[in-house]
Structure 1
Amino acid sequence: MAKIEITKDMLVGDIVNNIEGAAGALMESGMHCLGCPASQSESLENACMVHGLNVDEVLAKVNAAVQ
């Protein structure tokens, strides 16, 4: 099975819709608006900035969850 790596330039909508386990990890990291229309076209880095989250910490949690 190929290893999946989520990156900060990926769109939140793509992550949530295509990577099993990512939505729960994002919610646990403090990103609670995954169904918001903006999330469909917003990069993970931008979404973290808007929500006051550290993108590197979120990436580490989400990537660990989906492995």
Structure 2
Amino acid sequence: MIEKEMTIAHIVQNYPATIPVFRSFGMHCLGCPSATGESLAQAAQVHGFDVDRLLGALNDALKSD
């Protein structure tokens, strides 16, 4: 299960099925330096997304994987 406190890099490395979800939200630089230090909650705030919506979509991707 993905949580808000996880970094994007951790999520992508451990749950590659989430990559299309990030891209669908317009987050294409999954390997950028910020991805290793920002939590999902921080990244959602920076990009102007509702973190709960993003979190739900990411966890849904894990269910269908």
- Please indicate, yes or no, whether the TM-score normalized by the shorter chain is above 0.5: yes
**1:45 and 2:33 correspond:** no
Structure with bigger helix share is 2
Match of 2:45, as an amino acid? M
State the secondary structure of the residue aligned to 2:58.
helix
1:26 to 22, 26, 29: 22
Could you list the runs of 5+ residues in structure 2 that have no partner in the other structure? Answer: none
Aligned length: 63
**What TM-score does the superposition give when structure 1 sets the normalisation length?**
0.85
Q: After TM superposition, what 4+ stretches of structure 1 lie above 4 angstroms from structure 2?
A: none
Could you list the runs of 5+ residues in structure 1 that have no partner in the other structure? Answer: none
Taking only aligned residues, the RMSD between alpha carbons, in angstroms, comes to: 1.0
Q: Percent identity?
A: 41
